[in-house]
Amino acid sequence: MPHNSAALSLEWTTLQNNYEQAERSALLVKLAAVVLCVGGYALGVPYELIGATALLLWVQESLCRTSQARLGERIVRVEALVKNVAPASAACQLHTEWLASRKGSAGLLGEYAAHALRPTVAFPYAVLVVAALVAYSGQ
């Protein structure tokens, strides 16, 4: 069983590092949205473009968060396998498990939308989009 434990430990470490990288990437997308939108207002960029930029980056972060959630689900599964001393065949199954549970294109789009609507993802994008709409309607 030590071989299995080593494989699961390596998988957990790799997944955890990728999970944290996704967190950093999502934060960079969020910061880019704020900088680009505020900079756009300051430079007089058309409000439609500012709003579209915020929406585009919001979708980008939701894609990142969806991938991160998949990693998180597998991390929890690996932790359970380690706790229960799983057979060696249980290690390194992230994509196999995901493909087995994939819900098709509509399910994938729903997963992206669900992550986009989480408050920690939606902020500041919703605020930026509303600000662009308000500014546009006030022209």
**Which of 83-87, 99-103, 107-111 has the highest mean predicted lDDT (pLDDT)?**
107-111
Give the pLDDT confidence of 23-69 residue by residue, as tens digits. Answer: 999 999 999 999 999 999 999 999 999 999 999 999 999 999 999 99
- Give the model's pLDDT for residue 85: 72
User: How long, in residues, is the chain?
Assistant: 139
Q: Which residues, other chains included, contact 11 with Cβ-Cβ below 8 Å and sequence gap of 6+?
A: 78, 91, 92, 94
User: Where do the domains of the chain lie?
Assistant: 2-134
